[in-house]
Amino acid sequence: MLARREITPITDAVPQHEKATKVISVTSGKGGVGKSNFALNFALSLSESGQKVVLIDFDIGMANLEILLGMTPRHHLIDLVKEKKGIWEILEKGPNGLELISGGSGFERILDLNDDDANYLFAELGKLQGYADIILFDTGAGLSKESQRIHLAADEIILVTTPEPTAITDAYSVIKILHHQDASLNVRLVVNRVANSKEGIAIAGRVRTVTKRFLNKEIEILGLMPNDSLVFQSVLEQTPFYLNYPKSQAAKWMKDMVNIYLHGDGGYRQASTGIKGFIQKMSQFVVKK
Ligand SMILES: Nc1ncnc2c1ncn2[C@@H]1O[C@H](COP(=O)(O)OP(=O)(O)O)[C@@H](O)[C@H]1O
Ligand SMILES: [Mg+2]
């Protein structure tokens, strides 16, 4: 049994409402493509680069991120609603200055919440406005009603795929469904587990071409991640590869990706509606059948 990392609840947080908070959600078509590992290590790399990041595990019922971090959080997202906890009580400190809200296992489907509970949840999330530079939602595979709400309200959607044809096809389906709800969504693609950059560039190019041709939608390429056995190893060791194996190919590519994202053209500085816009969109949005 691995030693569990000590965690500290953030009880002394005095939020400073001065940051232009950007809300990003991570999705995929097929499951198991590496979303949670991507989200966690992307968040750690952003934190290392000086961004204040709150990572929220919205993969309801699956305690992915806390397991990948080897943490046992005291509270989970559902406690906010069930026990009427405040947002600052459920926010936990992770490595690199990262802050985390765990999904927890057994988190009932969020849309089963009554209106009052849902309003409370999103009002509390709204308090993160100005506190963090980036709020990153990890979500489950595919599109549940609740994850659609998150994606449609986010400033940016990161779509993760692998080179597998099934993963690519399912990723395309996700873009298509989301695009039909809102043609103005800002989608960025990550091709994970590529054998080399040539393969990754070819796949990313293919997805871009298909979405342009059939949906007339432009998607950005956020980056590529190598297939790296140290990612798998880190999962076993319950420590993120970005921290555990900083010299791994995966960690190096992640660092480059974040650097380009933060400092390159067309990256981070694109318009953000901030979490206030996110909350407004969340409450207005009705999922089309
Ligand atoms: N870049 C990678 N290289 C090697 N293995 C990876 C990589 N990304 C993910 N994996 C493997 O895939 C598994 C599933 O990843 P995970 O992040 O949990 O996927 P998801 O959140 O999409 O379901 C991990 O446990 C790991 O073994
Ligand atoms: Mg996951």
The residue type of 79 is D
Please report the pLDDT score of residue 76 as a whole number: 87
Positive/negative CA dihedral, 224, 226, 232, 235:
negative
Atom of ligand 1 nearest to the CA of 64: 18
Q: What residue ranges line ligand 1, CB within 6 angstroms?
A: 28, 31-37, 64, 141, 192-193, 225, 227-228, 231-232, 235, 250
How far apart are the C-alpha atoms of 241 and 237, rounded to whole Å? 9
55 phi and psi, to 5 degrees? -105, 125
What's the Rg (C-alpha) of the chain? 18
- 225 Cα–ligand 2 center, Å: 16
Give every residue of the chain whose pLDDT is below 50, as ranges: 1-3, 11-12, 14, 111, 285-289
- Mutation test of ligand 1: which of 232, 236, 239, 257 has the most ligand atoms closer than 8 Å to its C-beta? 232
- 41 Cα–ligand 2 center, Å: 13
For 19-284, give the CATH class.
alpha beta
- 25 Cα–ligand 1 center, Å: 17
Please report the pLDDT score of residue 123 as a whole number: 85
Please report the pLDDT score of residue 9 as a whole number: 52
The residue whose CA is least distant from atom 8 of ligand 1 is 34
- 10 Cα–ligand 1 center, Å: 29
Please report the pLDDT score of residue 162 as a whole number: 97
The residue whose CA is least distant from atom 27 of ligand 1 is 232
Cβ neighbours of residue 113 closer than 8 Å, sequence gap 6 or more = 81, 121
Please report the pLDDT score of residue 276 as a whole number: 56
Chain mean pLDDT for the chain? 86
- 192 Cα–ligand 1 center, Å: 9
Atom of ligand 1 nearest to the CA of 228: 3
Place of tokens 């409450």: 283
Atom of ligand 1 nearest to the CA of 59: 21
Q: Return the closest-CA partner of residue 278 out of 97, 156, 102, 158.
A: 156
| CA-angle at 55, arms to 197 and 159, nearest 5° | 40
Please report the pLDDT score of residue 287 as a whole number: 42
Domain ranges of the chain: 19-284
Please report the pLDDT score of residue 269 as a whole number: 56
Please report the pLDDT score of residue 148 as a whole number: 87
Note the ligand closest to the C-alpha atom of 28: 1
Please report the pLDDT score of residue 115 as a whole number: 75
Please report the pLDDT score of residue 8 as a whole number: 52
